[in-house]
Amino acid sequence: MSVTGEIVAEGTRAPVVRYEVRGRVGVITLDRPAARNAVSAAVAAGVEDAIDRLEADDSVWVGVLTANTEGQERPVFCAGADLKAIAAGEGGSLSTGRGGFAGIVWRDRVKPIIAAVDGLATAGGCEIVLATDMVVASSRSGFGLAEVKRNLVASGGGLFRLPRAVGRNVAMEAVLTGEPLSAQRAFELGLVNRLCDPGKSLEEALLLAERVCAAAPLAVWESRKVVLASETEGDNALWTRSTEAFDRVLASEDAREGLAAFIEKRPPNWSGR
């Protein structure tokens, strides 16, 4: 099944964010290739709306966030904030109340999102990637926080999420010089889960999403919460979180299905309940 939707920039006919359902995966596509997929007010609203759809649809268990790079001589996943909007004093329009910058950087959500990157993710574009749960990147991708080159500060989470992903010293160099990390380096440091050939990041991300969907969705969502909490909470709180997550999952229909499938030596049929 494929269900599509799009968010259209005011005064134009061109979609700036597209949403499509492929099986149990919701695909969100940034679609401003002529503007290097820079985040405008319409993009921020569109991403928030797409995540709303992802979260509300019980038949969809995982999201993939990608970008249209057609016609770009040097592919750019996202160049960050639309600097024309910032210069015009409209920087606040690039954030939403529930999601922050680009409608995603502090969005509270249940379902994991995989970034499919094929090109440069810089400044706010890198912060979008850092707000996702896993990253698939092509070999021509790059990841950086270039704000210092414009006398700006990366305020969308990059200054603390990048050090967590690649280490303090590497992040410090990237932040203070504004120079991006290559896809290979990002993979070696753990920011990128999987490397692929140019033009193949969406395909590879969908394969990874299918692997996630093969697992029990409730267990996936509860486990994700604990992993995220481990970045800010101590062991005592995490022991409590883990126990509570286990109890919630064990009381579900899928727990009974998982045990029955194991005993009967058959693939489980997850319901998400």
CB atoms within 10 A of CB 223: 17
Q: Within 13 Å, how many C-alpha atoms sit on residue 169's CB side? A: 0
In order, the DSSP letters of 181-231 are EEHHHHHHHTS-SEEE-TT-HHHHHHHHHHHHHTS-HHHHHHHHHHHHHTT
In the set 10, 48, 70, 147, the catalytic residue is 147
Q: Note if 127 is an active site residue.
A: yes
In the set 6, 48, 55, 127, the catalytic residue is 127
Report residue 71 as tokens.
């016609």
Whole-angstrom CA distances from 115 to 69, 87, 129, 215 are 14, 29, 6, 19
Spatial contact of 37 and 77, defined as CB atoms under 8 Å apart: yes
How much is the CA Rg of the chain, to the nearest whole Å?
19
Whole-angstrom CA distances from 84 to 47, 143, 171 are 20, 22, 27
Catalytic sites, residue numbers: 127, 147
